[in-house]
Chain A
Amino acid sequence: MTGFDKQSPAAPPRYFLPAVDVSESKDELVLVADMPGVAPEALDVTVEGGVLTFSGRVAPGPERGLETVHQEFLKGDYFRQFRLPREFLADKVEAVLKAGVVTIRIPRDERSKPRRIPVRAE
């Protein structure tokens, strides 16, 4: 979908939202996004002020001199933002791109993990 929503100044003029799965374990937060057509060098993942932003430019078509017969691919680039909860370490974000799927892992801050307090018998 093209950019009718331009509230974020960081958003490109034409973009659409990739589908994302978000899950959490006791160790980390994981975001998995479908971004077909994006090469690793065209993927951008940033964290600023507790906001995770990921965007990707879609490479142009495979051949020149193409005449489109039918089009369902959405035109534009991928762009999406999430606000990170404070208990995750924004400076330890890892992103891996494989077969058009980006996996972003953010470890949980050890200090925020639940802690069992030992009780001493007197």
Chain B
Amino acid sequence: MNPRPLKRRGEDTVVESLRNEFNRLFDRFWTGQLEPLQIGRWAPPIDISETDDAVLVRTEIPGVDPAKIEITIEGDVLTIRGEKLEQRETKERDYFRVERQYGCFVRNVQLPAPVLKDQAEAVARQGVLTIRLPRREDLKPKRVPINLQP
């Protein structure tokens, strides 16, 4: 009756998910770039990257209605707030496994470079939210040329 994962894999499921979680904790600890981990609270993973022109912040939000997401920038901190609603079906059903996480989340990200807040763009696609923040030209690092004296 109960759909079980294949036995060998089933045994590894717990170990593997613990490992995933541990790796994330480890990464967070060493980078020290993000807010302290809030135990027991859902926090979607975040990737931050840079190009010459922009800072890109991506977060995994599968099943989250983009209308339920709020993105704000204050100083050099970007905040993503949202809520993942549990999709309860009306039909009567029994749950065997509930591994997906639901509820409200907040992530604060320290931006690695000054950005143009007013030109920020956010796109949600296939459960991944991508926020593109153009860098501020006037605050980009500049190379100072050295004039050689004869």
Taking beta carbons and an 8 Å cutoff, which residues of A are in contact with B?
1, 5, 7-8, 16-17, 19-27, 29-39, 51, 59, 61-63, 65-74, 80-85, 87, 99-101
Contact = CB atoms under 8 A, between A and B. Distances in A.
Interface in B25-54: 27-28, 31, 33-34, 45-52
Given A1-B23, A99-B127, A25 B93 contact: yes
Given A29-B3, A32-B87, A68-B48, 16 more contacts: A7-B8, A16-B16, A17-B13, A21-B98, A24-B3, A24-B96, A25-B93, A32-B100, A37-B60, A63-B51, A67-B51, A72-B47, A74-B23, A81-B6, A83-B6, A100-B63
Interface residues of B, number: 57
Contacts of B117: none
A87 B96 CA distance: 16
B100 A34 contact: yes
Given A19-B99, A100-B126, A82 B51 contact: no
Nearest to A20: B99
B93 A23 contact: yes
Contacts of B140: none
A38 to B, nearest CB: 6
Contact of A20 (B19, B100, B124, B126): B100
Closest 8 CB pairs of A and B: A100-B127, A36-B127, A100-B62, A72-B45, A19-B99, A34-B62, A36-B60, A25-B93
Listed residue (B48, B50, B96, B128) with the most chain A CB atoms within 10 angstroms of its CB: B128
B141 interface: no
From B9, B24, B91, residue with most partner A Cβ within 10 Å: B9
B143 interface: no
